[in-house]
Structures are given as C-alpha cells and as structure tokens.
Amino acid sequence: MKTPIRILGIAGSLRRLSYNRAALRAATQLAPKSATVETFELDGIPAFSQDQEQNPPAKVTELKRRIREANAILFVTPEYNWSVSGVLKNAIDWASRPHGDSAWNGKAAAIMGASTGAIGTARAQNHLRQILVYLNMFPINQPEVLISHAIDRFDQEGNLTDALTRERIIGLLQNLVDWAQRIGPK
C-alpha cells in the first residue's frame, strides 16, 4: 500500500465562525483514502518584518516545518477587497523567507475559498495564483471551488451542507493527490 499523500490545509481567516475555516474542516473529512488533510491555524503570527527573517518567531518555524513535511498545500482563502486576506499573505511571506530558504518551493497546491459575495473568492484566488508563480508552486486548475453566498452553504454549526460544494471539494482533493503523486516528493 502506498504511503498516504499528506495535504496541509491553511485557511486565511482568524474569525471564530469563519466560513473558510469551516470549509477547511469539511475538506479534512472529505479527503480520499489515499490522503490526509491536516490543518495549520494562522493565529499568533506577528506582522512580517525583514529584520526578523533570520530569527523568525517559533510559530513561523513550525509553519515552515509543517509545509516541508506535507506533499501538497491546500489554500482556503477569503476574499478581502478583491485579494487574499492580509493574514494569509503575511504567513506566505514569512514562510518564503529568508531568500533561498522558502518552504513553499516546488510544492503542489490547490486553492478554494468562501465568501459572502456572489463570485465566491474568484478574484482572491486569481491573485493567489499570481503569488504562487513567484513561490514556484504548482497549483492545480480544476475543479474550481468558489463558495459564493457562504451563508447559504453552511449550517449554524459551520457544517458544509451544500452537496455540490462537497462534491467539488472531493474532486479538488482527488486531483491534488493525483498531481502530487505525479510531480513527486518535495
């Protein structure tokens, strides 16, 4: 039996009742048998300063270790003013430094996101894809998981109740696993 593909899921919201954190929780339950989805919470990471990049906070060191241990990354991004949240960008920046020691380099990735708006983080996801180019990451393209009108897709406890969204997340994770196996370990 093959070793399961390890996916690290990172949601770009600190909000207690965050739809994106809820979507990531759903992904941990919808992973194919050949994979695990673990999560990393971004709370407690200070604002990036290049003065500290040679001696980063412990939480950043932990983030970089968890990224390196994973075969693939699942980004679950909110949309803030047509882009990714500052919290997510801040974590991305920390883990990309110092120069030559980026934890992201060469990783397979998938992107999904939830917003209360009508196009479900499409603009944020597009921005994130641009960022991943510089990070030398390899995101899969499909299926698109754009969770629009999030209030209608989750119940009061934050369970993802929308059947089509659940199916899409299953498809995304399966494609990510296949892709991570194809591009090999990193």
Ligand X SMILES: Cc1cc2nc3c(=O)[nH]c(=O)nc-3n(C[C@H](O)[C@H](O)[C@H](O)COP(=O)(O)O)c2cc1C
Where along the sequence are the contacts to ligand X (CB under 6 A)?
13, 15, 18-20, 78-82, 114-117
Any idea which residue has 């990354």 for tokens? Answer: 73
* Dist. CA 105–CA 111, nearest whole Å: 16
Of 13 and 102, the one with the shorter C-beta distance to ligand X is: 13
* Dist. CA 79–CA 105, nearest whole Å: 24
Which helix (H) or strand (E) is 23 found in, with range?
helix 19-30
CB of 57 to ligand X, least distance (A): 23
Question: Which residue's C-beta sits nearest to ligand X?
Answer: 117
Which helix (H) or strand (E) is 113 found in, with range?
strand 108-114
Of 119 and 133, the one with the shorter C-beta distance to ligand X is: 119
The H-assigned helical ranges of 111-162 are: 122-134
CB of 184 to ligand X, least distance (A): 32
CB of 45 to ligand X, least distance (A): 16
Of 3 and 81, the one with the shorter C-beta distance to ligand X is: 81
